């Protein structure tokens, strides 16, 4: 699985002008499933996100997790994270999981997140979404789970 984790002051996802997911302080996580991914990798990714120490402590050092600061998670599916541009200027997305597998793993990721964290919002799988955010720092961390 591929994830792009952004520390945010606020973020929301809209579909057709309607907000479908929204958080205040927390993590916006763009996530892409790959063909060989499994539910076990989704669990590993959730554990990593929840423990990732990228929020500042009282000394200003990145030493706190989203759980430590009581922040939210906004998890958005984004197959374009698997883009391959090595063959030209038009990206290939063959590295992304097929839609049925991608949806199943995204839903499993959301289920696990909601089981382990009290504040979880989501985008809408396969929808044309607008993601609005205030990146804090900015802090943006790519994560690849294999």
130 closest CA partner among 18, 4, 7: 18
In this prediction, residue 64 carries a pLDDT of 98
Contact 69, 55 (CB under 8 A): yes
Annotated catalytic residue, options 80, 93, 130, 144: 80
In this prediction, residue 6 carries a pLDDT of 98
Residues (pLDDT < 70) of the chain are none
In this prediction, residue 1 carries a pLDDT of 97
Phi-psi category of residue 126: left, alpha or beta, with phi > 0 → left and psi -120 to 50 → alpha: left
In this prediction, residue 123 carries a pLDDT of 97
Report pLDDT digits (tens) over 19-59: 999 999 999 999 999 999 999 999 999 999 999 999 999 99
The answer to whether 125 is a known catalytic residue is no
CATH topology classification for 2-144: 3.50.80
Annotated catalytic residue, options 6, 19, 78, 144: 78
């Amino acid at each position: 699985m591929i994830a792009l984790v952004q520390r945010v002051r606020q973020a929301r996802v809209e579909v057709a002008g309607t907000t479908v997911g929204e958080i205040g302080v927390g993590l916006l996580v763009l996530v892409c499933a790959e063909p060989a991914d499994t539910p076990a990798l989704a669990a590993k990714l959730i554990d990593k996100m929840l423990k990732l120490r990228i929020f500042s402590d009282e000394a200003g050092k990145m030493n706190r997790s989203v759980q430590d600061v009581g922040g939210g998670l906004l998890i958005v599916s984004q197959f374009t994270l698997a883009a391959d541009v090595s063959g030209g200027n038009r990206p290939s997305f063959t590295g992304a999981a097929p839609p049925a597998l991608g949806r199943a793993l995204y839903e499993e990721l959301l289920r696990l997140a909601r089981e382990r964290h009290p504040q979880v919002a989501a985008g809408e799988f396969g929808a044309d979404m607008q993601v609005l955010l205030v990146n804090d720092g900015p802090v943006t961390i790519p994560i690849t789970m294999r």
